[in-house]
């Protein structure tokens, strides 16, 4: 379905980004990976996806908290893949603390990585997409782009910002072949969330109890969303059937935001 298309997924060395990169590759897209990790592990991921799905894969190291590295990353993806059709702004971090205790450097990092990087990457990728009159920009927001939780002020602010940014880009591109949408996942058991499970487990609970407690607070289904399910939604957004899905914030959250 995406044969001949190319995709750059930020933060795709782990978790949701990796699930989305794999989903694109599974339907024939060439993929640029980005994110942190040990070089040997990343090379194994890159070559594994290339051989499993018979697509071209490249790894582009860039710290997306830095605007110049983010802009250069998009340029490198265009050069190494020939052009760039699909951009997924996925890289993100979390920090949990009350506002009065929130370290300013954590606030700055969360805004830079979870919000501003989407602006810099989109700004760099749009001209090529508009020139070819086809493109898909998918921003991985969160249920926290729609509702809040205590002790996550920076994350909630950044993700609400991502949803707003998505709508503005969708309006600017509405009469073109480029669409921009956000995906709002609920709990996905990735390293980012495992950290929070481990934090709860330290207070004398088993890991299983901590997981159920985390799910029970927010998720009516009591089940995690998976990176593969989110990958399938991203693939749908890249299909022709989704050509008029514009400026949407699509939830996949086990019922979290239905409450
Ligand atoms: P993860 O920790 O498994 O993966 C994060 C990825 O981002 C990694 O590849 C990491 O190397 C990369 N990254 C972090 N900082 C970076 C930087 N400065 N430059 C480049 N890459 C960087 O996390 P995840 O759970 O897969 O999260 C991915 C996205 O999904 C995030 O935006 C997160 O906010 C969002 N999200 C996660 C959940 C969840 O429950 N896990 C729910 C909703 C939204």
Residue 1 within a domain: no
Q: Are residues 139 and 232 located together in one domain of the fold?
A: yes
90 CA → ligand 1 middle, Å: 6
**pTM of the full structure:** 0.97
Nearest one of 87, 35, 77 to 56, comparing CA atoms: 77
Q: Which of 92, 145, 158, 199 to mutate to test the pocket of ligand 1 (most atoms within 8 A of CB)?
A: 92
Residue 144 within a domain: yes
| Nearest CA owner, ligand 1 atom 36 | 142
User: How many domains does the chain contain in total?
Assistant: 2
Ligand 1 site residues (CB inside 6 A) read: 10-17, 34-37, 63-65, 90-93, 113-114, 140, 142, 185, 187-188, 190-193
252 CA → ligand 1 middle, Å: 16
Q: Are residues 88 and 121 located together in one domain of the fold?
A: yes
What is the atom index within ligand 1 of the atom nearest the CA of 109? 18
**CATH code of 162's domain:** 3.40.50.720
Residue 120 within a domain: yes
Residues known to be catalytic = 155
Q: Are residues 61 and 142 located together in one domain of the fold?
A: yes
pLDDT for position 104: 98
| Nearest CA owner, ligand 1 atom 12 | 11
Nearest one of 39, 35, 90 to 230, comparing CA atoms: 90
Mean pLDDT, 10 residues at a time, over the chain (259 residues)? 97 98 98 98 98 98 98 98 98 97 98 98 98 98 98 98 99 98 97 89 89 94 97 98 98 98
Give the domain range for residue 154: 6-188+226-254
């Amino acid at each position: 379905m995406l044969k001949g298309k190319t995709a750059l997924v930020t933060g795709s060395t782990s978790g949701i980004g990796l699930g989305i990169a794999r989903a694109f590759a599974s339907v024939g897209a060439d993929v640029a990976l980005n994110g942190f990790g040990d070089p040997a592990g990343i090379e194994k991921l890159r070559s594994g996806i290339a051989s499993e799905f018979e697509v071209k894969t490249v790894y582009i190291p860039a710290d997306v908290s830095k605007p110049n590295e983010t802009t250069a990353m998009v340029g490198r993806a265009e050069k190494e893949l020939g052009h760039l059709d699909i951009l997924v702004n996925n890289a993100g971090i979390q920090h949990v603390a009350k506002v009065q205790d929130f370290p300013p450097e954590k606030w700055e990092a969360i805004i830079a990585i979870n919000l501003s990087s989407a602006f810099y990457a989109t700004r760099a990728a749009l001209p090529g997409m508009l020139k070819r009159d086809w493109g898909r920009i998918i921003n991985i927001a969160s249920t926290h782009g729609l509702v809040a939780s205590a002790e996550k002020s920076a994350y909630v602010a950044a993700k609400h910002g991502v949803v707003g940014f998505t709508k503005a880009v969708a309006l600017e591109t509405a009469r073109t072949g480029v669409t921009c949408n956000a995906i709002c996942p609920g709990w996905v058991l990735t390293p980012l969330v495992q950290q929070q499970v481990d934090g709860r487990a330290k207070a004398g609970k088993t890991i299983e109890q901590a997981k159920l407690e985390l799910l029970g607070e927010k998720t009516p289904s009591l089940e995690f969303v998976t990176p593969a399910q989110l990958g399938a939604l991203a693939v749908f957004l890249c299909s022709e059937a989704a050509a008029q899905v514009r400026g949407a914030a699509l939830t996949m959250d086990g019922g979290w935001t239905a409450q």
